[in-house]
Chain A
């Protein structure tokens, strides 16, 4: 009850007790098992990505390599993990369209269609919304023209939401998210550096936050810990970008973690490799990361079973 966070020691690896896979799956109840997914929405990589996608860095993007990496990513989701993939075609006029995460936030059977902070990305939501409708999710749209929200700023921990207030997401956007998911606490976290909140953190399991070691990242973590009634363990990785990984809890697979490979972030990969309870799946993302695309950015994960 007393949730005081003395702070976990940096870099320590914690292995909390995880729930067994997808327990309570048949219950439409609140806070059904975290990480259970059945479907994933992905979108093709437009060739315009290399030149026109928004980016904070300067690096040149190898378009064909980006394509290969993305194919591998989708392959993992489909074949390795057995998710049903809804693949939307790329739209050349939307260079950032591969990053579908920013277009929608799905939790339970509700999908909030966002209003991306970047003007050029607003139309990305149309196709995603269509796909979500197809999946019979309750669609909530962000009609307010003053609101902006990128899915990349939304961290759902299983018990609550943290919304990064960043260049792309504002308070109003966060409020609308809170309205859409009334069961959960929605706390705001300032994002001082990096594009999105999830540019330096993500969930590594129920109650486990993977966090980069940069100062802004650590600061953000502190805020999240302070704001929460729940206790979170943290897994600190040396590289902020490597802190973006994908956790799933799948039937027959158990806990799965898609994370950066050694080639890209050797030190961080080592940290992941110490996780014993997870099925570790390194997925490379060297090209998309140049346009600020992380692992979570490239899919919208949905749990359909829980909703039917």
Chain B
């Protein structure tokens, strides 16, 4: 373990000095192993026959994990989900397999084992031949058989009975004995509740399969499970990740929903699938999520009646009584009910299946059919809705469609913090690709939208899902990809369904009492109305190059910003430029990234010399966000406080000036991922020491910095991701840049909190060249002066600075910009601003149990300057890691000192990520963290503690 930690550290160092070291070779080894495993998978796929070929890898895995696992394909109807014993076992097993996979060296064995199991498993498994493939690619044949036996034994064993095995560490044994079952409640489409027990560590797929099994559903790829997160947002349960890590609280409540609305439901194979789709649509219609006219409401309602109660009975007493108990429309009137009845009469003789089919034939024509709406803002802050559907991305303002980007037109989808970007293929008359940016409420929304886009694109446009990205050196960020079957695959698979049409009962749906969940509905807001009254359309941010052009060809759409205040205009420009920068970044290659890393030290120097300018855009967005009530992100919380403070590069607490107004220590604790633990074991506890880096520039608005920082460290939040879909088909190649999910990887990758600073003056330059050059520095001073002059910069000012560095500076507004980057190192991130990547510095220390690894405090001169100057914001980040066998803690400390009108404030934010191997006593960990914080800064008081338990998986593999 220790060894591994060492190597990790080296890796980090290597970033600074790109001299390939041992660690690289180690990495390479690991990679090759993974690659081998991946190859194995690939082989399996090739070898697979029939349906199995279309099964996603995770699907196969699941199957291989246990014959008892509830898959419909496995003809085991008598295996009801109800058997509690079964569940835990299966899950436990699955988990084990997973863990072993994570353990590099054992991987091959696992694979082999899988292969074997598959060979003896039923129906659709691969031919035995694959075994060879896997075995050949891999190491140990020895463990194979034994392990398998063991697994089987486990399967047979009663729940919770951990069988000792050589492969299991004692730790795991302990854990195993602790394994608990959890009761999941799944709200089905008919409104009923389905309860089933799953092992606590079960993956999303397991539960999903149990539900599908319960429903007797085979064409399940159109469906998914949703849960409501802490922010009351509906999220899709990721089948490949543990449920527990996604739901974030102990609320095991889910809903079964349609995830991909088939554009032509008549192509579905089974009536039961159509029935379920109907149920979803009825709910969508009744809730108003799927808007339709009076006549359509009536027509759909009449088909619903026909399907659910059959032919109209003339002698039925007072039909209006029962009909009014059903909800067909958001505002259902007597008139509508009468119309429904009238139409119902005309459907006489129609079977329920026919009525459902008719229902779908009409519903599918509705313009909002299958459109998943997300609230967003355009570059001007105008509220819009982004709709993701089978054909692409739609942009709505109120109810009006103001733009549309078909998948083939989209080259790349990415998000960064709360910004969502799409890169557009140039039109016939255009020379340049353009990028359109939208601002989401927060980074979570942006990520959610991005994921939905990735999934929809994959499902509807690809023939096969993109293979999981191969692990690259130092790759960070979410590698999220759609893991299921694509529509093409599922259709093909459906043709192979060979069973008599399952009998199912059409229960009269409980639409009546169902609460409408908060699906976004297009609402017309007065405010926006006014804004747009004169035909002014919301203007999309384009990359500056293309912006002009765009404006031309499609005047209406792209832009028509009539009379705007000068300020506003300026902002726009700025924004545009910024996005341009980002684009450039996006395009960077890995080499460039490495280069950036190499130049970290240079950056540091520059930081010290000059205050960094922050990237305009994020600030702009953030500011807006913060002002919007909707943005209730954790990230923002920290910001609230600092608002008034100016930042000074911080030095440690020692540097705090005498006049400290306030001190804040923020502690965030996140619990992380299983995967990680695994790797930790395999690898040994590594201690990524992260250190931080940079002092940065200053920012008058610390807030931004803080926001950013916190954002970055949020576990869930990946700040950015890209997706470039490759459509084998033809034209469309889309790239998907992903943002990194920082939290997910931090421990392994050694995330160092990069602090980034950019010079306002040369933002562009920076963008192009990640490394800040000394030349940039000069600008810093100027800024400072400005800043000094106006210590209190109003929020608006943020805009200016962000964008055009120089211009902004000139602008009179003091803009200071400090950007701190998310602690994640993204290689891929390249896409994003280089600065980020380049700036990380890492310092790792590792120590054994609960020892404070190393705390590094870097004080930049710039920070010091603050003291001399009036208000120079500086940021200092330090990271420390505490590692023990069972506990891995990563602490990122941001210290900001702000001078305002003679008063200086020092604020220290600590973010502590605790990664657990086994169940951790969080309270204790938190107490410990606070204690440590106090010890370290005895003269400061803890003003705020934010505890964030992160359940999301940060898997590296995947």
Q: Which residues of A are interface residues toward B (Cβ below 8 A)?
A: 1-4, 7, 28-31, 108-110, 138, 146, 159-160, 163, 165-166, 169-172, 174-175, 178-179, 181-190, 192, 219, 222-223, 226-229, 307
Contacts and interface: CB of A to CB of B under 8 A. Distances in A.
Interface in B512-566: 524, 529-530, 532-537, 553-557, 560
Contact of A190 (B343, B365, B556): B556
A182 B554 contact: no
Contacts of A166: 535
Given A1-B390, A30-B366, A186-B400, A172 B295 contact: no
A189 B556 contact: yes
B408 A2 contact: yes
A185 B530 CA distance: 22
Given A28-B299, A30-B362, A179 B399 contact: yes
Contacts of A3: 391-392, 406
Given A1-B391, A160-B367, A185-B367, A30 B400 contact: no
B292 interface: yes
A188 B401 contact: yes
Given A3-B392, A4-B731, A192-B556, 9 more contacts: A2-B461, A30-B362, A109-B295, A171-B533, A178-B400, A182-B293, A185-B367, A186-B399, A190-B554
B355 to A, nearest CB: 13
A183 B361 CA distance: 13
A28 B553 contact: no
A30 B365 contact: yes
B406 A2 contact: yes
A186 B291 CA distance: 13
Residue from B263, B367, B408 whose CB has the most chain A CB atoms within 10 Å = B367
B296 interface: yes
Contacts of A159: 365
Given A1-B390, A28-B343, A187 B402 contact: yes
Contact of B557 (A171, A185, A190): A190
A270 B409 CA distance: 36
B321 interface: no
Nearest to B361: A29
Residue from B392, B399, B407 whose CB has the most chain A CB atoms within 10 Å = B399
Interface of B: 263, 291-296, 298-299, 343, 361-362, 365-368, 390-392, 397-404, 406-409, 427-428, 460-461, 524, 529-530, 532-537, 553-557, 560, 731
A110 B390 CA distance: 29
A225 to B, nearest CB: 10
B533 A187 contact: no
Contacts of B292: 182-183
Those 8 A-B pairs whose CB atoms lie nearest each other, nearest first: A190-B556, A185-B367, A178-B399, A165-B535, A182-B291, A4-B408, A187-B401, A171-B532
A181 B293 CA distance: 6
Nearest to B532: A171
A229 B400 contact: no
Contacts of A186: 367, 399-401
Nearest to A29: B362
Contacts of B296: 30, 182-183
Contact of B293 (A110, A190, A222): A110
A292 to B, nearest CB: 19
5 contacts: A3-B391, A28-B295, A146-B533, A171-B534, A182-B296
A146 B365 contact: no
Given A146-B529, A171-B529, A227-B404, A1 B460 contact: yes
A227 B460 CA distance: 19
Contacts of B428: 7
Contacts of B343: 28
Nearest to A159: B365
A127 to B, nearest CB: 25
Contacts of A30: 296, 299, 362, 365-366
Contacts of A182: 291-293, 296, 399
Contacts of B404: 187, 226-229
A206 B858 CA distance: 70
B554 A171 contact: no
Contacts of B533: 146, 170-172
A110 B296 CA distance: 12
Contacts of B400: 163, 171, 174-175, 178, 186-188
Contacts of B402: 187-188
Contacts of B365: 30-31, 159, 183
Nearest to A179: B399
Contacts of A2: 391, 406-408, 461
A7 B296 CA distance: 33
B40 to A, nearest CB: 34
A289 B534 CA distance: 27
B553 A4 contact: no
Contact of B401 (A1, A138, A185, A307): A185
A227 B293 contact: no
Contacts of A192: 555-556
Nearest to B553: A219
B167 to A, nearest CB: 48
Contacts of A110: 293-295
Contacts of B461: 2
B537 A171 contact: yes
Contact of B367 (A7, A28, A184, A190): A184
Contacts of B293: 108, 110, 181-183
B39 to A, nearest CB: 32
Contacts of B407: 2
Contacts of A178: 398-400
A175 B530 CA distance: 12
